[in-house]
Amino acid sequence: QSVLTQPPSASGTPGQRVTISCSGTNSNIGTNYVYWYQQLPGAAPKLLIFGNNRRPSGVPDRFSGSKSGTSASLAISGLRSEDEADYYCAAWDDSVSGRAVFGGGTQLTVL
Amino acid sequence: EVQLVESGGDLVQPGGSLTISCSASGFTFILHAMYWVRQPPGKGLEYVSAISGNGDDTYYADSVKGRVTISRDNSQNMLYLQMSSLRPEDTAVYYCVRDQNTYGYWGHDAFDIWGQGTMVTVSS
């Protein structure tokens, strides 16, 4: 059982906009930044969004993040076949120093 | 090029021990907190352990506390995870991960660099 809650799956057609939600509590998302990681099939995770809504260099601006209260969302616009991957949200948790928490992951399928 | 390369993953019997390693290059290792994150086959990511840049502070998830020890050798740019009393549920790909900031401590930033992972299988 993951601390952060994500839908197990999402899907969309090429060109469409899809969103993936991530729900937490006051001790994690409510008071800390949210991060999103993309894991392509057979690969290691890669940082996609940091600081709630900032993109590392090289990440297309089709990817955007937002946060409100104890929930966050990842939006992917102009969906492409290469976006098919698992997406994980994460945050630091103030309940214990040094504790980070992940969502269970959302498998995105491009139809 | 910033890079993390894990090694040492193996097939181990339940109750056995194993140490996995991570070689870091392309950045000033001591400036970054480092982590181990694992992923059981077909499952999601699990945060396992953390160590501050100078190695003075560590964190362990409840699932591994008392059975694993994280350490680092800043002179060799190496990160380690010593595991003992291994259980089948410890079977996973173990990723070596870097903290994004250069304060040498955790809690504020993302996991910005990931290694390719090393597979640990616990089975008889």
CB B120 within 8 A of CB B92: yes
Question: From residue B14, how far is each of B18, B26, B78 by CA, in Å?
Answer: 11, 36, 27
Comparison of pLDDT for A98 and B59, the residue scoring more: B59
The four Cα atoms B37, B94, B61, B27 give a dihedral, to 10 degrees, of -50
Give the per-residue pLDDT at A98.
86
The whole-number average pLDDT for the span B61-88 is: 98
Query: Is A33 touching B (CB cutoff 8 A)?
Result: yes
Give the per-residue pLDDT at A97.
85
Distance from CA of A28 to the nearest CA of B (A): 11
The whole-number average pLDDT for the span B76-94 is: 98
Locate the chain B residue with the closest alpha carbon to A35: B110
CB A102 within 8 A of CB A88: yes
Query: Is A84 touching B (CB cutoff 8 A)?
Result: no
The whole-number average pLDDT for the span B7-16 is: 98
* Amino acid letter, A33: Y
DSSP string, A75-105: EE-S--GGG-EEEEEEEE-TTSTT-EEEB--
Question: Which residue do the tokens 């469409």 mark?
Answer: A16
Distance from CA of B43 to the nearest CA of A (A): 8
Query: Is A102 touching B (CB cutoff 8 A)?
Result: yes
Asked if pLDDT for residue B107 goes beyond 90, the answer is no
The whole-number average pLDDT for the span A43-65 is: 97
pLDDT tens digit string along B109-119?
Answer: 999 999 999 99
- CB contact (8 A) between residue A101 and residue B107: no
Give the per-residue pLDDT at A108.
98
Rounded to an integer, what distance in angstroms lies between the CA atom of residue B104 and that of residue B78? 15
